[in-house]
Amino acid sequence: MDLTAAFDLLGEAGATALGGLIIGMIFGFMAQRSRFCLRAAVIEFARGSFGPKLSVWLLAFGIAVAGVQIFISAGWLSVGEARQLTGAGSISGALIGGAMFGCGMVLARGCASRLLVLSANGNLRSLLSGLIFAVVAQASLHGALAPVRDELAGAWTVTGIGNLNLLSALGLGQGTGVVLGLFFLATAIFFAARNKLTPRLWIGALGAGMAVVLGWWLTWTLSYQTFEPTSVESMSFTGPSADVLMLVLNPFESWDFDIGLVPGVFLGSFLAALLGRELKLEGFQGGASMRRYIIGAVLMGFGGMLAGGCAVGAGVTGGSIFALTAWLALSAMWAGAALTDYLVDRRGLEADAAHPRHAPAP
């Protein structure tokens, strides 16, 4: 695909940002329609149910992995220069950061992408949590929390060409990636059919996953057509949220895929909620609720930056290219979220059931 006309009209940076905006809008629209959320999927699974929320997440994950691996096998995409597969990978960062992120998304009642989607629908709880998430992510990248992040990330690292790609590290060929991707997708289709997902959920989940595939393809296409270096990447929200936050201070300093992505997701979700008549202002129910959301956002901001990505950035985007640290981070997110749900929410529900609180007599 020749993007010369777009470069002539908008410049390389502008065209790249526009690409991020469009793909972000696709993801935001589809994620809002499907209620795509890793937190909801983990809670459903941890409570012993293979229900619709888990099915939606599996559909998005399955189509992302299958699509990316098919694109690579067909020669339409190369991810050898992707951040997740080059340089040193932090095992400790993936495990510790992933667990922190998983804990945080349960407390904040949504991962980073879900908070952004809900913010566009009028959820003020998610808006505040998302802003705190972005501030903490920026502090973890270049601010006061950066030394702590570096110390934890450096505790256990792995280097070497091929060591960060699970397929290469295990001596498996590219065809294995396609087979595994199709297996994940077939499993997702089975559970989605068993749960009788509505067409809206099917389309939304598959569309959200395909946005990840399109993101990889677009940035790779840009990388060999632009004179300026362009990162080969796709959907992620930890680093991009921090970048958008800094854009407020330096509006013309840097325009890239990430800068267009975050506002694109917000706009796409807003349009979906507008069409579905789901715009609604929602606030906090009390001080305890606010503290919970703030703590969750802080854990996600630091944990996501330490892990190298959020539930989408590491879990789906990194997982789709079989990056070692991404799969470790995703596993840690599941474990951290399930444990937090049990300790914080499920035990509270069990205590309330055992000792019901009766309303005082009028």
In a domain, 4, yes or no: no
Residue 223: which domain range?
A: 14-345
Name the residue type at position 89.
G
In a domain, 74, yes or no: yes
Tens of pLDDT, residue by residue over 245-254, are 888 777 766 7
Q: What are phi and psi of 13, to 5 degrees?
A: -65, -40
Q: How are beta strands 157-158 and 89-90 bridged, if at all?
A: antiparallel
**Mean per-residue pLDDT over the chain, rounded:** 93
Token pair 């149910």 in the structure block, residue? 49
In a domain, 263, yes or no: yes
CA triple 336-341-134, angle to 5 deg: 60
The count of domains in the chain is 1
In a domain, 274, yes or no: yes
Tens of pLDDT, residue by residue over 316-330, are 999 999 999 999 999
Tens of pLDDT, residue by residue over 252-307, are 667 899 999 999 999 999 999 999 999 999 998 877 889 999 999 999 999 999 99
In a domain, 5, yes or no: no
How many CB atoms lie under 10 A from the CB of residue 166? 22
Q: Which of 11-15, 297-301, 356-360 has the highest mean pLDDT?
A: 297-301
Please give the structure tokens belonging to residue 143: 């601010």
Tens of pLDDT, residue by residue over 160-210, are 666 799 999 999 999 999 999 999 999 999 999 999 999 999 999 999 999
- Is the whole-model pTM more than 0.85? yes
Alpha carbon distance 25, 245 (integer Å): 19
Alpha carbon distance 103, 336 (integer Å): 5
In a domain, 221, yes or no: yes
In a domain, 159, yes or no: yes
**Of 132, 178, 137, nearest to 292 (Cα)?**
132
Task: List strand residue ranges (DSSP E) for the chain, in order.
Answer: 89-90, 157-158
In a domain, 46, yes or no: yes
How many residues comprise the chain? 362
- What is the rounded average pLDDT of the residues 233-245? 94
